[in-house]
A and B are shown apart, each in its own frame.
Chain A
Amino acid sequence: DAGITQSPRHKVTETGTPVTLRCHQTENHRYMYWYRQDPGHGLRLIHYSYGVKDTDKGEVSDGYSVSRSKTEDFLLTLESATSSQTSVYFCAISESGQGNGGEQYFGPGTRLTVT
């Protein structure tokens, strides 16, 4: 497995509380991505980063924010968690980005439950 870790791996939280998920890589890859995986929806991109402090929105970015202050860390924050954000969250990294046919390497996932 590529050097990608996610923390926490499991979290249960209450509606309205803030939550931060962390993705950490040791590959020095430029691109980092956050997805959510839901039955019937597959993987949907939340936000991605193409460099330190450079981020952009994906297709389901509402209710989420991200930050990347270091190459190796990409944080996903739910400012005020809602039950609709119960999901499995995956981080991925890529060396060259998709425009060059770059492969994405995925982390193990974080299972988040919002009660």
Chain B
Amino acid sequence: AQRVTQPEKLLSVFKGAPVELKCNYSYSGSPELFWYVQYSRQRLQLLLRHISRESIKGFTADLNKGETSFHLKKPFAQEEDSAMYYCALSAYNTDKLIFGTGTRLQVFP
């Protein structure tokens, strides 16, 4: 069965500190992986997807098939990064996303 695990419910850091939000997945095939973000009072929105290999708002995520991980990283956290972050997986040739339980990131000044 496909599963996405985000082990941290809450991650608190100070401004300027590095951030790593963990995501592990369980899927036997080749997954498509995404990070979605929900800022306070805003809609859930796509942050980045692994196939595009983009860096959005300073965040990057690398798919590690050996460790079945897709951790989200940023070298220097900003206060405006405070939000709820969801990792999501799409199995090949399906129309559905499977979300993790989410990690709330708090960045203190």
Contact = CB atoms under 8 A, between A and B. Distances in A.
B69 interface: no
B101 interface: yes
Contact of B44 (A58, A94, A106): A106
B102 A45 contact: no
Contact of B96 (A41, A45, A101): A45
Interface string B87-109: 00010111111111110000000
Nearest to A99: B93
A98 B49 contact: no
Interface in A29-65: 31, 33, 35, 40-45, 48, 50, 58-59
Report the interface size class on chain A: 20 to 34
A106 B100 contact: no
Contacts of B98: 45, 59
Contacts of A89: none
Contact of B45 (A35, A43, A45, A106): A106
